[in-house]
Amino acid sequence: MQFANGVFRMTVAGDGGPDYTVQTSTNLLNWANLLTTNGPPGFFMFGVTDTMSTPQKFYRVRLGP
């Protein structure tokens, strides 16, 4: 993970093929899907530029169906 110049970036490592869903929450109880991708072999990176709209955000990655 890295945070620089108002941009949050996270690298996710995993197997190629299954779907990965990146989710975000402000309270760890209610989660919203941010993006879903079919992960390439190795890793993928995603970034969020809207980091100033809430004082804190949490992110998690879930393995799809």
Q: Give CA separation, 6 vs 9, 18, 19, 40, 47, in Å.
A: 10, 30, 28, 27, 10
Average pLDDT over every residue of 8-37: 86
Q: Is the pLDDT of residue 8 over 80?
A: no
Q: Is the pLDDT of residue 30 over 90?
A: yes
pLDDT tens readout for residues 41-63: 777 777 777 656 666 888 888 88
3 φ/ψ angles, rounded to the nearest 5 degrees? -130, 115
Which of the four pLDDT bands, split at 50, 70 and 90, describes residue 31?
very high
pTM of the entire predicted model: 0.74
**Mean pLDDT, rounded, of the chain:** 79
Instruction: Residue 3: name the closest of 44, 42, 43, 59 by CA.
Output: 59
